[in-house]
Amino acid sequence: MNGPDITGLLVLDKPAGMTSRAAVDRVQRWFPRRTRIGHAGTLDPLATGVLVLCLGGSTRLIEYVQRMNKVYRTRFLLGAQSDSDDADGTVTPVSGAVAADAATLAACLAAFVGTIEQVPPAFSAAKVAGQRAYDLARRREEVSLSPRPVQIHAIDILDYTYPHLDLEVRCGKGTYIRSLARDVGARLACGALVQTLRRTRIGSFTAEEALTLDAGAETAYAHLLPAERAVADLPRIVLGDSERKRLGQGQAVAVPSGERRRAGSVSDG
């Protein structure tokens, strides 16, 4: 039996050190028992930032939020590698690593902008023969994942003081920043891993409007967003009361071409 009909979206600022699922479990305490809550776009325990939660009937819209463009701020640690491609794994210094100059670094990063083939990290939710890759990796079993196309719209260098490289990355669905760090390190022949990672935006949802886990129930209710925010970039049709009633009953309705409207595109920042 489902709980009360609480529907809407909530933007959470996930802290470091916990899974996205654990963050959802904390938020669940703010709402009546059996309120359905799902999250759109998993963040690793190391990562912080924007996690969009869908409540009640809005859980059916999770896929629309997941496919939105994302913006990350990250610090790569050069001169080292990790079995998880981030600082939470077993970190190994790369012997003989040499700092790349600014021009070499810029050219390297430019090569990763556009549609690229990317292999997910071994410690990821990607599946291998029906099993999660991270389950195999934790059992020290071989993990062989196929590359998949992802879209990286831009990589901006915020600061470079070897061995630290601070970046802002704008990318599409399914992009692993850990894989980007690993591949950048391989191309520079010095190794690299994600030391810090923060997601600042998903579509139009930003860190500035996000709640922390100490917000509490009253604040959460006040900050629920309408479900329409999840589909703001889709075509919109305005119907009258009678047409809405007929459509809700599964009947076809005629829509004059003048009533078709295009919603504004969701910005990726």
106-149 pLDDT per residue, tens: 999 999 999 999 998 876 565 555 665 555 556 565 565 778 99
Of the pLDDT bands very low, low, confident and very high (cuts 50, 70, 90), residue 209 is very high
Contacts 24+ apart (CB under 8 A), 25-29: 26/213, 27/53, 27/213, 27/220, 29/217
Question: Which of 44-48, 130-134, 173-177, 183-187 shows the lowest mean pLDDT across its residues?
Answer: 130-134
70-199 has the same fold as 8-67+205-232 = yes
88-104 per-position pLDDT tens digit: 999 999 999 999 999 99
CATH number for 8-67+205-232 (one of 3.40.50.2300, 3.30.2350.10, 3.40.50.300, 3.30.2270.10): it is 3.30.2350.10
* For the chain, percent of residues with pLDDT exceeding 70: 85
Residue 168 confidence (pLDDT)? 98
Task: Evaluate if residue 159 carries a pLDDT over 70.
Answer: yes
pLDDT bucket at 192, cuts 50 / 70 / 90:
very high
Kindly report which listed range (47-51, 79-83, 246-250) carries the lowest average pLDDT score.
246-250
pLDDT value for 131: 60
8 A C-beta contact, residue 118 and residue 141: no
pLDDT tens readout for residues 7-34: 999 999 999 999 999 999 999 999 998 8
pLDDT recorded at residue 269:
38
Q: pLDDT (tens digit, 9 = 90+) per residue, 229-252?
A: 999 888 878 788 888 888 888 888
Rounded to whole angstroms, the Cα distance separating 183 from 185 reads 5
Extents of the domains making up the chain: 8-67+205-232, 70-199, 235-269
Closest to 213 measured CA to CA, from 86, 34, 25, 36: 25
CA-closest candidate to residue 119, choices 109, 130, 110, 128:
128
| Residue 264 pLDDT greater than 60, yes or no | no
The SS3 assignment for 131 reads strand
Distances (CA, A) of 218 to 133, 207, 223: 39, 20, 9
Q: Tell me the average pLDDT across 36-40.
A: 94
Q: Which of these is catalytic: 5, 25, 44, 214?
A: 44
pLDDT classification of 170: cutoffs 50, 70, 90: very high
Active site residue 13: no
Hey, what are 2's tokens? Answer: 């489902």
**DSSP-derived 3-state class of residue 85:** coil
pLDDT, mean of residues 172-197: 97
CATH topology of domain 70-199: Pseudouridine synthase (3.30.2350)
Confidence at residue 190, expressed as pLDDT on a 0 to 100 scale: 97
CA nearest neighbour of 39 among 73, 5, 14: 14
**Contact yes or no for 24/69 (Cβ under 8 A):** no
Q: Is the pLDDT of residue 36 over 80?
A: yes
Complete DSSP assignment for 93-126: EPTT--PPPHHHHHHHHHTTSEEEEEPPPSSSS-
